[in-house]
Structure 1
Amino acid sequence: MPASAPPPTPAPVPAAATGSADRTRRADRPGSVPWVAMYHSVDDCSDDPYRVTVTPERLDAQLRWLHRRGLRGVGVAELLAARSRGEGRGLVGLTFDDGYADFLTNALPVLERWECGATLFVLPGRLGGENAWDPLGPRKPLLTADGIRAVAGAGVEIGSHGLTHVDLTKADDELLRAEVAESRAVLTELSGAPVEGFCYPYGTVDQRAVDAVRAAGYGYGCAIDPGGLNGVHVLPRVHIGENDTAVRLHLKYRLHRLRRRPVEGA
């Protein structure tokens, strides 16, 4: 980009506007709570007992809402890196859990339309399988190895959701290691890129699980509500569903930082 003349000296900013700008800078500085949205499946949601599905049309409307407010969705690794440089203003995290096959067909085109990135948390122990952990169904196919490579090739960050979607707080030491460390090794080989992020199945997390994720070399971990735990390996997230229209999104975005403590290292 060619150099240009220095801009003119700006006019004095009203005190009210200065206060608003200061609040925005405080909200985006490293250490404050990043806003990370949690999605799952993007498909028809007429049969959705766990409320984990949004339609492509609803996702499109939600990303339009972000765009109109000067916000852009990115993957969590990109979000954290930008915040560490002091460049996180206007960025929010978008995450999709479980690695449903509909991410490739339904979610990715919508993300690309709005020039958004995302993190997809997948289960390398269930490649090409289905969501057998949801007893009420409906059964949804999961991405194959080729599907995960296609998603990674489109620029989406791939993270681990464990090997098979088990509650890590109830796992013995051997299972915990397999779900956390082995899943990272498999995904690194599969995607051809370092795997930085882990997502705790069911959102359940305790200090033992956090320690295992950190020891396995992950740069961050995503929870839902980590309770008294804190740090970049237990990032809180906001569930986004089919009923989240503009008003609900606005409230969730505004209230998120009021409900959470600052996250050290984020």
Structure 2
Amino acid sequence: MVADISAAPRAAEPDPLAEENPRRRPAAWVAMYHSVSNCPDDPYDITVTPGRLERQLAWLSHRGLRGVSVRELLEARARGQERGLVGLTFDDGYTDFITTALPVLHRWRCTATVFVLPGLLGGENAWESTGPTKLLLDVDDIRRAEAAGMEIASHGLTHIDLTRADDQTLHTEVIESRRLLTDITGVEIEGFCHPYGFVDERTVDAVRHAGYRYACAISPGPAGSGDFAIPRIHIAQADYPLRLELKRRLARAHGRALEAV
């Protein structure tokens, strides 16, 4: 039986995983979204409908949690105040972030990080060989998202596997994307997202030396990566409240939690 998210908000329950060591604060976790639209043809399972996103954010609220950008989450962690916060990220910078996701985020008083591709502004998701064609944010869309309180961050220039790129391509993707987004927003870009979640020591070093403050991946990166390979939990259309609760509780055990430092 699935919990009824329309019920009155409930107080957050103690997390048994966090209680294993009472001296450790509960680890925050970072959710990974992509597209928000009514798209039944999705072989990659990266699309959630607006209604599902609404229910997922309602679930967060009813658990005493609030979605924030990764920048806000890291700032809160530095103050020891990350409890009750969940990082929200949207990869690839689809246009439906503005048209569909943003209104839902505002209704639940959430912010998020949008990882965009400044080398494909106003283009399409050409890196996907199958599945639906989806439009990407353009310059005006990016400025609108930033003005709405969202964090704009880089996903590289063109969504290629940087672990297989030569040195020149790697540095261009990492450095030039940051420069372009800084020019567009007028704000220093702090975050990067490793395309496909692929990361190795070379890509971590390139991102660190390019001046970013952090980078997101999917699984934890090589030893010593720290905040330059922040793991995330994939959120899908099938994630009803029960599945979300299981993912929340298992985040630390599966190495997908952002440890307090």
TM-score by length of 1: 0.88
The SS at the match of 2:24 is: helix
CA–CA separation in structure 1 for the residues paired with 2:72 and 2:182? 18
Corresponding position: 1:130 with 2:104: no
Instruction: Report matched runs for 1:36-185 at 5 Å.
Output: 36-185=30-179
Letter in 2 for 1:136: T
Partner of 2:255: 260
When residues 85 and 183 of structure 1 are mapped into structure 2, their CA distance, relative to the original with a 3 A threshold, is same
Shift of 1:260: 1.1
Partner of 1:9: none
Shift of 1:45: 2.7
Partner of 1:12: none
Partner of 1:241: 236
Shift of 1:78: 0.4
Corresponding position: 1:192 with 2:190: no
Corresponding position: 1:222 with 2:216: yes
1:110-156 Cα distance to aligned partner (Å, 9 max, x none): 00000001000000000000000000021000011100000001010
Unaligned 5+ runs, structure 1:
1-16
Percent identity, please: 61
Shift of 1:262: 7.3
Contact kept in structure 1, 2:200 and 2:221, CA below 8 Å: no
CA–CA separation in structure 2 for the residues paired with 1:211 and 1:178? 14
Shift of 1:27: 3.5
Letter in 2 for 1:239: H
Shift of 1:264: 7.0
Instruction: Report matched runs for 1:9-48 at 5 Å.
Output: 26-28=24-26, 33-48=27-42
Corresponding position: 1:231 with 2:226: yes
TM-score by length of 2: 0.89
Letter in 2 for 1:242: Q
Shift of 1:24: 7.6
Contact kept in structure 1, 2:65 and 2:85, CA below 8 Å: yes
1:30-60 Cα distance to aligned partner (Å, 9 max, x none): xxx5300000000013010101100000000
The SS at the match of 2:28 is: coil
Letter in 2 for 1:255: L
When residues 70 and 263 of structure 1 are mapped into structure 2, their CA distance, relative to the original with a 3 A threshold, is closer
Shift of 1:21: 8.6
Partner of 1:7: none
The SS at the match of 2:244 is: helix
Aligned pairs, number: 245
CA–CA separation in structure 2 for the residues paired with 1:42 and 1:236? 21
CA–CA separation in structure 1 for the residues paired with 2:215 and 2:61? 26
Partner of 2:3: none
CA–CA separation in structure 2 for the residues paired with 1:113 and 1:263? 26
Over aligned residue pairs, what C-alpha RMSD do you find?
2.0
Specify which structure has the higher proportion of helix.
Answer: 1
1:165-218 Cα distance to aligned partner (Å, 9 max, x none): 000000001100111011001000101111100000000000000000000000
Unaligned 5+ runs, structure 2:
1-13
Contact kept in structure 1, 2:29 and 2:256, CA below 8 Å: no
Contact kept in structure 2, 1:226 and 1:236, CA below 8 Å: yes
When residues 256 and 155 of structure 1 are mapped into structure 2, their CA distance, relative to the original with a 3 A threshold, is same
Partner of 1:14: none
Shift of 1:228: 3.9
